[in-house]
Chains A and B, each alone.
Chain A
Amino acid sequence: MKDLLKKKEKAFPYLMCLPALLLFTLFITLPFINGLWISFHRWDGFSPMKWIGLKNYRFVLTDEIFWKAISNTFIYAFFVTLIKNIIGLGLAIILAKKIRFRTAFRTAVYMPVTFSYVVVGILWVWILNPNFGLLNHFLRALGLDFLIRGWLSEPRYALASVIGVDIWKWIGFHMVLYLAGIQAIPKQLYEAAEIDGASAWQRFCHVTIPQLNSTIIVNVLLSITGAFVANYDIVKMMTDGGPFHSTEVSLTYIVSTAFRYSSVGKANAMSMILFLLVLVFGLLQLKIMTREDVYE
């Protein structure tokens, strides 16, 4: 009887973990492994699969549009990360001062964070519409006619426009994280710097930036991974990868490979390549998240 009780006690933590492990294994781990398996096959999603070894990977790596999509993804990630963080940090620094209407401002700028990309996409496609859009109309009203563009229809500007909209959606999110980081910096550091005669710029470089170190890392990581693996919706809604693949990113190309070209095997191979590309950022994020973990 006592043995049974002890056994029960020993099994308890495992039983508590069991549902999570089951669900996770069934719908994350197994699909992932299965995806890896499928990536070695030719498969259209319906007929029987045919083993073709590494051929899918060879197809993918010699596919010009795939490289175009990858290079667009990198450009996208670079600019989105850079600009989101500069604007987010800049606004946070201003908001950290004695500013009136701070709450109203934060509420407004954070609002797009809660919108779905679908809503954001539909809205901005129309704002950027060459003839009836708010942006060109606004430029015309200001007499800036020479700036008027077909923002989404000209290949040269389409990617930049989508990047701009992505930034617009997330500024508030990064601003709030930076604001929290700035407010956690001890006031004495600034006082000491001021006594030493440091200028505002010097205080920014030698107090704010080093103190925000980990906040910056988190923000940069979040924007990078977001740009690599969460931009499908917005690109799909705004340009669907066009014109002429000028806004094609990895995810849009993966999905059209699976459905438009019925190459589910190839699409899985691309997913695996994309996974390898973001793996290093994922590992970094995991490391930062678990850095303070207590495991005695």
Chain B
Amino acid sequence: MRKGVKTTITYIAWYLILIFFFILCVEPVVWMVFGSFKDRAEFYANIWGPPKVYHFENYVKAWNNAGLGRKILNSIFVTFFALLISIPVNSCAAYVLARMRFKYAKLIYFYLLTGIMIPSGIMAIPTFSVALRINLVNSLFGLVLIFAAQSIAMGMFIMRSFFISLPKGLEEAALIDGCTRFKCFTHIILPLTKPGIMTQVIFSGLTIWNEYLLSSIMIRSENLQTIPLGLASFVGKYTVNYPELFAALVIVTVPVIIIYILAQKSFIEGLSAGAIKG
């Protein structure tokens, strides 16, 4: 009997803790959505309630004033092309490093891996200094190349451990039949690598999509800004219209939240990928 009471109490305590953290994580988002529909007067007066009147025009204004369309396109451009360059490039390297024995394999592997040791925060000023000299400042193409390079180390690492996990017999038969290595790679192995690529798309994709530090020092003109830059400069502008700002926040976060909820499993696996190996 006493034991039963004790377990009930522990369970209640657990649920209270969980509910506390649930509210802590969800409430700011709910509050952001509420705020985005209020008018300015209500925003300051009715702080945590739902809006009395829904002002959908905040969204139209936010979209136009912040030039969100352009910024979303810029973000898509940078993320898409950085991944389009990085993934094939690191997959090729990862494949031979996983499957073939050659003289400098180990050296190349560890050379590329040092990228994990040099975090992008530290590289910001040195990268910018080089970009100044070779005229890559204020160019989305420059961002694409830098982000692609920065995601090589982790991408190669993820793909290599993925290739190692595939059975060797897969290509052996084809090799004996006279298929070249490259054909083996493109025709037999690549079609199987969807999960590895998915992991990279999420891991590197989200990193690039949310990147702020380097973009903020590289991009100078407003029409080249990515989403994080656009939001940040929205805050810096004259007097901030908060309901509009919140509408802009909703416009850029809600799609990510929806994709995350729909593809939750891949998201969590993808983002843990770098860590899980340990």
| A residues adjacent to B (C-beta < 8 A) | 9-10, 12-14, 16-17, 19-21, 23-24, 26-28, 30-32, 34-36, 38, 43, 45, 87, 90-91, 94-95, 97, 99, 101, 104-119, 122-124, 126-127, 132-134, 137-138, 168, 171-173, 176-177, 180, 214-215, 217-219, 221-222, 225, 228-230, 232-233, 236-237, 251, 254-255, 258-259, 264, 267-268, 270-271, 274-275, 278-279, 282-283, 285-286, 288-292, 294-295
| Segment touching A, from B50-58, B62-70, B89-97, B187-195 | B89-97
Contact of B145 among A27, A90, A259 (CB under 8 A): A27
B174 beta carbon closer than 8 Å to chain A: no
Q: With a CB–CB cut-off of 8 A, which chain B residues contact A124?
A: 28
B260 beta carbon closer than 8 Å to chain A: yes
Q: With a CB–CB cut-off of 8 A, which chain A residues contact B24?
A: 168
Closest to A126 in B: B242
CB <8 Å contact, A118 and B232: yes
B61 beta carbon closer than 8 Å to chain A: no
CB <8 Å contact, B125 and A16: no
Q: With a CB–CB cut-off of 8 A, which chain A residues contact B95?
A: 16
CB <8 Å contact, A286 and B130: no
Closest to A26 in B: B149
CB <8 Å contact, B25 and A111: yes
CB <8 Å contact, A286 and B113: yes
Q: With a CB–CB cut-off of 8 A, which chain B residues contact A292?
A: 277
CB <8 Å contact, B125 and A9: no
Contact with A along B193-223 (1 / 0, CB 8 A): 0000000000000100110110011000000
CB <8 Å contact, A24 and B213: no
| B residues adjacent to A (C-beta < 8 A) | 14-15, 17-18, 21-22, 24-29, 31-32, 43-44, 47-48, 85-86, 89-90, 92-93, 95-97, 100, 102, 104-106, 108, 111-130, 132, 145-146, 148-150, 152-153, 156-157, 164, 181-182, 206, 209-210, 212-213, 216-217, 227-228, 231-232, 235, 242, 245, 249, 252-253, 256-257, 260-261, 264, 267-268, 271-272, 275-278
Q: With a CB–CB cut-off of 8 A, which chain A residues contact B249?
A: 119, 122-123
Q: With a CB–CB cut-off of 8 A, which chain A residues contact B113?
A: 286, 289-290
> What are 6 inter-chain pairs, A to B, with CB distance below 8 A?
A108-B25, A114-B257, A134-B28, A222-B275, A228-B121, A230-B121
Interface on chain B toward A: helix, strand, loop, or mixed SS?
A: helix
Q: What's the Cα separation between A27 and B192 when bound, in Å?
A: 30
Q: A36-B126, A122-B235 are in contact. List 4 more A-B contacts (CB 8 A).
A: A24-B152, A134-B31, A171-B25, A289-B113
Q: With a CB–CB cut-off of 8 A, which chain A residues contact B14?
A: 94, 97, 99
Which of B29, B31, B93, B209: most chain A Cβ within 10 A? B93
Contact of B18 among A99, A217, A295 (CB under 8 A): A99
Given A31-B123, A171-B21, A180-B276, A255:B118 Cβ within 8 A:
no
Contact of A271 among B125, B212, B272 (CB under 8 A): B125
CB <8 Å contact, B122 and A13: no
Q: With a CB–CB cut-off of 8 A, which chain A residues contact B32?
A: 123
Which of B102, B126, B209: most chain A Cβ within 10 A? B126
CB <8 Å contact, B85 and A282: no
Given A38-B129, A134-B31, A177-B276, A251:B118 Cβ within 8 A:
no
Instruction: Report the minimum CB–CB distance from A207 to chain B (whole Å).
Output: 18
CB <8 Å contact, B212 and A233: yes
Instruction: Report the minimum CB–CB distance from B41 to chain A (whole Å).
Output: 12
CB <8 Å contact, B119 and A91: no
Closest to B47 in A: A137
Closest to A33 in B: B126
Q: With a CB–CB cut-off of 8 A, which chain B residues contact A222?
A: 275
Q: What's the Cα separation between A180 and B257 when bound, in Å?
A: 23
CB <8 Å contact, A28 and B132: no
Closest to B185 in A: A16
Listed from nearest, the 3 A-B pairs whose CB atoms lie closest are A35-B126, A282-B117, A116-B210
Q: What's the Cα separation between A255 and B25 when bound, in Å?
A: 31
Contact of B150 among A27, A215, A228 (CB under 8 A): A27
Q: What's the Cα separation between A176 and B278 when bound, in Å?
A: 14
CB <8 Å contact, B47 and A34: no
Given A17-B97, A111-B29, A105:B18 Cβ within 8 A:
yes
CB <8 Å contact, A24 and B125: no
Q: What's the Cα separation between A257 and B43 when bound, in Å?
A: 37
Closest to A101 in B: B18
Given A31-B126, A119-B253, A177-B272, A24:B112 Cβ within 8 A:
yes
CB <8 Å contact, B119 and A230: yes
Closest to A116 in B: B210
CB <8 Å contact, A271 and B122: yes
CB <8 Å contact, B242 and A271: no
Q: What's the Cα separation between A173 and B26 when bound, in Å?
A: 15
CB <8 Å contact, B130 and A94: no
Q: With a CB–CB cut-off of 8 A, which chain A residues contact B112?
A: 20-21, 24
